[in-house]
Amino acid sequence: MKRLLIALPITLAVLFSNTLAFATDSFEIFRKLDSEIPPANIGVSDDGRIFMSTHLAYGSDHKMVELLADGSYQPYPKMDFYPALNGILGTIVDKHGILWFLDTIWGKDAMGRVIGWDINKNELYRIYYIARPIVNDAYILNDMAVDRDNDAMYITETADATTSALLVLDLKTGLVRRVLNGSFATVPEDKDLIIDGKIVNMQGKPARVGVNPITIDVNNEWVYFSPMSGQTLYRVKTSDLINQSLSDEALTKRVEAYADKPMGDGITIDAANNVYVSDLTNNAIGVITPDRKYKILHQDAQKLSWVEGFSTAGDVGILATSNKLHRSPAFNNDKPTPDDFYILKFKPLGEAVIGR
């Protein structure tokens, strides 16, 4: 078990105290991380345990870790998977204490896995496999929203610039359906992502990244999502996503353009339906309020450089990961990669119900 660089050495009892005070116009450094565990996404359980995937773009040996109260971490879960865990992004802990994470494996035996781990019993809960023809060679299981009321999971399958889609997973049967494939709401817009005054490139071309951020409201009624290379937040009802009688054309017509947004990675939502978004161009965290207007909440060129993921954390507020992804080898082969990353904490405008 190795030590993390840590800005606030505090115990869980203090961290999760109901009396914890916030400044509404500021954020705090929750943890400072280094290249051992560059952050991707993060999940918080209702009893305060914190789990984090490491970003595959940086190639950490540890794919998933639990962050401990003393500032250390431990690889998690302590089980050998076959094939070994490869590229984990989406990470969330649901209301039943199941840690869900998405693993993408490429190559001739390309196969995605949705892994559920019971953190209370410390044992495997379920694995769902996602393979061809549901996904193709360009696939990537990116992020997810978990809907235990309907025993469903909604996954953003970023794919390439023309075939981005949502996957709807039935948690009871394991049936996976690919929906909104190549739709206006899932493919990237033909617009450049600019960070620190420079166009962000992938494989030598301006980045065009399809559907990535996704979240679900606390009533499990609406799923919100967007292409990363996109300036519109969309939403669709869960009742429509799980309705197998709807054709893809009919489902597409039920997708609503909800609000304007900046290009960004992760999103989350509070109980008052404020949608929090990463604002990549502005090195910021912003919010879309229920009146569908966007504003920047927090901005910092160093600490909020590429906010990747969010997790609602109850009385603690909202945690967010920041990983400077545009400076990783996936985007930037010619220059040194960063080794300073952050988990931030900020107070939401409404209650931060666990599981988003």
Lowest-confidence pick of 23-27, 186-190, 206-210, 254-258: 23-27
Return the structure tokens found at 180: 């909104």
Return the bridge partners of 104, or none.
Answer: 87, 112
Q: Is the peptide bond before 77 cis (omega within 30 degrees of 0)?
A: yes
The pLDDT value given to residue 25 = 58
Residue 333 has pLDDT above 70, yes or no: no
344 or 109: which carries more pLDDT confidence? 344
Output the CA–CA distances (angstroms, integers) from residue 54 to 35, 59, 131, 151, in the order listed. Answer: 10, 8, 23, 27
Q: How many residues does the chain have?
A: 356
Helix (H) or strand (E) holding 12: helix 12-15
The pLDDT value given to residue 327 = 85
Residue 3 has pLDDT above 80, yes or no: no
**Confidence class of residue 304 from pLDDT cuts 50, 70 and 90?**
very high
Residue 174 has pLDDT above 80, yes or no: yes
As its CATH architecture, domain 2-346 has 6 Propeller (2.120)
DSSP at 121: T
Return the bridge partners of 254, or none.
Answer: none
The pLDDT value given to residue 86 = 86
Torsion of CA 256, 241, 54, 350, to 10 degrees: 60
What are the tens digits of pLDDT across the range 108-165? 777 899 999 999 999 999 999 998 889 888 888 999 999 999 999 999 999 888 999 9
What are the tens digits of pLDDT across the range 29-67? 999 998 889 999 999 999 999 999 999 888 788 999 999
Kindly state the percentage of the chain with pLDDT values over 90: 72
pTM, to two decimals: 0.90
The CA distance from 189 to 229, in Å, is 6
The CA distance from 119 to 153, in Å, is 19
The distance of Cα 84 from the centroid of its chain, to the nearest Å, equals 21
The pLDDT value given to residue 12 = 34
Domain ranges of the chain: 2-346
The CA distance from 294 to 276, in Å, is 9
**Confidence class of residue 286 from pLDDT cuts 50, 70 and 90?**
very high
What are the tens digits of pLDDT across the range 216-229? 999 999 999 999 99
What are the tens digits of pLDDT across the range 75-99? 999 888 878 788 899 999 999 999 9
